A and B are shown apart, each in its own frame.
Chain A
Amino acid sequence: MTLRWWIADSLEMVKRNLRHIRRTPELLIDVTLQPIMFVILFRFVFGGAIPIEGTTYVNYLMAGIFVQTIAFAGMYTGVLLANDLKNGMIDRFRSLPMLQSSVLTGRTLTDLLRAMLAVTVMTIVGFLVGFRPEGGISGALLAVGVMLTFGFALSWFGVAMGALVRTPEALQGLMFMTVFPLTFASSAFVPTNTMPSWLQFFAERQPLTLVTNTVRSLMLDGSGGPDAIAALIWSVGLLLAFFPLGLWAYRRRTSQ
């Protein structure tokens, strides 16, 4: 019974969020124009200068762009939640007999849809600029599954941050301060073997690299590669940690 209402309320929230997107299409820039820009810039600016063993730079690059976009989109969940907390809408929801957690599940499910749009857009653009994965359909689908799981987990991280940080602007700043260094100090855009050893040590063990390597391996040759288990553990672990933390932070924030 509760599960049924949870789903119904969450879908009502998704409907609301999609209406917002329809009336404010700018909300989609981060999952459409921005990744397109990254694909084109990296492909044509760095593509000629960075030799990759065994494949082309664009084939190497795409997994990195995918994961970076999904990571940003996941964190952006927090900014949108912080916006809702700032205006009075959350009070209205709290005076209704709905399941309060559906505000958050509605938010994260909407961002899962945004992530799917991002994957679709980037796949098309990737193909236009020479991306030729050879992992087959099953590899591609598994890669998408890994990305979306990671993105969904980061959405819950975003929810927790959105409820903890005072303003949407502060969160946006914090987001750039964390996601940018994490994507650059990783295997997203260049192989890690030219980095100094201390940076390499970090870059090879942090989740963005592990997820990127797994997605890349699945797309290029259909196998999970050596980092697949670690990537899944990180994704599921982040989800298990930040799902309850997000709910807790939201309750704490809204009951004050």
Chain B
Amino acid sequence: MIVAEGLEKRFGTTHALRGLDLDVAEGTILGLLGPNGAGKTTAVRILTTLLRPDAGRAEVAGLDVLKHPSEVRRKIGVAGQNATLDEVLTGRENLEMIGRLFRLPAADARSRANGLLGRFSLEEIADRITKTYSGGERRRLDLAGALVAEPPVLFLDEPTTGLDPRGRLSMWDLIGDLAKGGTTVLMTTQYLEEADLLADDIAVIDHGKLIARGTALELKQQTGGERLEILVTNGDQMAAAAAALAALSGEKPYVDEAARHVSVPVSSHGGMLTRAVRELDAAGVEVDDIGFRRPTLDEVFLALTGKPAGEETSAPEELAS
């Protein structure tokens, strides 16, 4: 449903996309994962006809985005971090206006708006101007706006960035339901957890290029699965702690000097904690905290690229959008 081949885009001296390839099968969710400045927003803007690439081609729903932009716009819904609503109109008016601009008859635009307001629990505030909405309410209305024309393809640009945990959970529910209904979704995110939970497939991009592709499980195996992390009491003992953990797991430890964290990938839990405590004690390292947790995006990047996320990135995403 979505295909991109060799997308290139420069903004002045910033090379936002360097030959990005993507494909999303019909009815699946692709999570486009990457740090700020990786080129996620630029890719979405090209695929949604808002921006012309310098090179490469892209197709959405079988239509070339450069040759048939208005036909593409009929097939897509767009929502994202820059929730684009008319602040002076009410929620209902926003949805009806979008419906009308999708060329729906007035009665249909009205009934679709009503249906979506109900489905997204926005009925109570439907007739208030959107300037008064909370962050979560705006995102929900923004997503509803993307669905007015019941498009077969949806683009969600960081749909939960900046939301509180409750808002994030309700957004996740809504997106999950959409995919069950057969909509093809491309969503960008900075959170591995989010991609893990919602996406059928994950594409990791960095510096405008695809660096890994696979299911959440495949990526995690590539990045070493679960990790053992310790909080070192004394900053002087970081090196000793790293050496002890490296010996324990046989993998390269990830050291965060500022936070005094050291972590290593571990393959099994069995007896690992007690062994770790014993080894650290033997090395004379004092520890404030110890436990298992999932890899963070930073660690995925470290595993995939050999360097932390976002390093050498010349411009933040805002400049590239």
A94 touches B50 (CB 8 A): yes
A95-B103 in contact given A16-B89, A89-B84, A89-B86 (Cβ < 8 Å): no
Size category of the binding interface on chain B: 20 to 34
Residues of A within 8 A of B98 (CB): 92, 96
A92-B93 in contact given A97-B70, A97-B101 (Cβ < 8 Å): no
Which residues of A in the span 90-136 have a Cβ within 8 Å of any Cβ on B?
91-98
A91 touches B82 (CB 8 A): yes
A23 touches B129 (CB 8 A): yes
Residue of B nearest to A9 (CB): B101
Chain A nearest CB: distance from B256 CB in Å? 35
Residue of A nearest to B82 (CB): A88
Of listed A8, A24, A88, A255, residue having the most chain B CB within 10 A: A88
A8 to B104, CA, bound (A): 11
* A20-53 to B contact mask, C-beta < 8 Å, 1/0: 1001100000000000000000000000000000
A19 touches B70 (CB 8 A): no
A95-B88 in contact given A5-B103, A12-B97 (Cβ < 8 Å): no
A87 to B70, CA, bound (A): 23
Is the C-beta of B87 less than 8 angstroms from some C-beta in chain A? yes
A23 touches B84 (CB 8 A): no
Residues of B within 8 A of A96 (CB): 73, 98, 101-102
B89 touches A95 (CB 8 A): no
Which residues of B in the span 57-94 have a Cβ within 8 Å of any Cβ on A?
70-71, 73-74, 76, 78, 82-89, 93
A92 touches B84 (CB 8 A): yes
Chain B nearest CB: distance from A180 CB in Å? 30
Size category of the binding interface on chain A: 20 to 34
Residues of B within 8 A of A12 (CB): 97, 100-101
Residues of B within 8 A of A23 (CB): 88, 129
Which residues of A in the span 70-84 have a Cβ within 8 Å of any Cβ on B?
none
Residue of A nearest to B81 (CB): A88
A20 touches B88 (CB 8 A): yes
A91 to B93, CA, bound (A): 18
Residue of B nearest to A254 (CB): B50
Which residues of A in the span 176-220 have a Cβ within 8 Å of any Cβ on B?
none
Residue of B nearest to A100 (CB): B70
A255 touches B51 (CB 8 A): yes
Which residues of A in the span 206-256 have a Cβ within 8 Å of any Cβ on B?
255-256
Is the C-beta of B49 less than 8 angstroms from some C-beta in chain A? yes
Chain B nearest CB: distance from A39 CB in Å? 30
Is the C-beta of B15 less than 8 angstroms from some C-beta in chain A? no
Binding site for A on B (CB under 8 A): 48-52, 70-71, 73-74, 76, 78, 82-89, 93, 97-98, 100-103, 129, 145
**Pairs A-B, 3 closest by C-beta atoms:** A92-B84, A88-B84, A98-B101
Further pairs besides A87-B84, A92-B78: 6, Cβ < 8 Å? A9-B101, A16-B97, A19-B88, A88-B82, A95-B50, A97-B73
Binding site for B on A (CB under 8 A): 5, 8-9, 12, 15-16, 19-20, 23-24, 87-89, 91-98, 255-256
